[in-house]
Amino acid sequence: GNSVTQMEGPVTLSEEAFLTINCTYTATGYPSLFWYVQYPGEGLQLLLKATKADDKGSNKGFEATYRKETTSFHLEKGSVQVSDSAVYFCALNPQAGTALIFGKGTTLSVSS
């Protein structure tokens, strides 16, 4: 079946540190991959996405590359800020017209 596995949190970093949140997936076919972010008390917002192998999604300094050979979509940022503190969800869309399948989320806490 289809599934998403994210690294367990919480991840605690100092401001300007490098961030990696690992995400691997299992899927049949060619899914689209997403990272969503949830700030405290809010709904989920799309952070970035990639729709085919080797695509790189990027937004607000965050990047993730769709790696079909390793079935991964790791999220990276070169220099985190306190305002990046949130919960990050990796998700896949297995095929058109279906719901997203989410990982369990990774909490990021950045201190100044």
Partner 1 sequence: DAGVIQSPRHEVTEMGQEVTLRCKPISGHDYLFWYRQTMMRGLELLIYFNNNVPIDDSGMPEDRFSAKMPNASFSTLKIQPSEPRDSAVYFCASSLASGGRETQYFGPGTRLLVL
Binding residues vs partner 1 (CB under 8 A)? 31-32, 34, 36, 42-46, 49, 51, 89, 93-100, 102-105
Q: Which of residues 78 and 104 has its CB atom nearest to partner 1 in the complex?
A: 104
Q: What is the DSSP letter of 54?
A: T
- Contact between 48 and 26 under an 8 Å Cβ cutoff? The reply is no
Phi, psi of 82 (to 5 degrees): -55, -35
d(CA 88, CA 107): 6
Place of tokens 């899914």: 31
Q: How far is the CB of 80 from partner 1 (least distance, A)?
A: 23
Q: Which of residues 17 and 22 has its CB atom nearest to partner 1 in the complex?
A: 22
Q: How far is the CB of 40 from partner 1 (least distance, A)?
A: 12
Q: Which of residues 64 and 105 has its CB atom nearest to partner 1 in the complex?
A: 105
Q: How far is the CB of 104 from partner 1 (least distance, A)?
A: 4
d(CA 3, CA 31): 11
Q: Which of residues 70 and 99 has its CB atom nearest to partner 1 in the complex?
A: 99
Q: How far is the CB of 95 from partner 1 (least distance, A)?
A: 5
- Contact between 49 and 35 under an 8 Å Cβ cutoff? The reply is yes
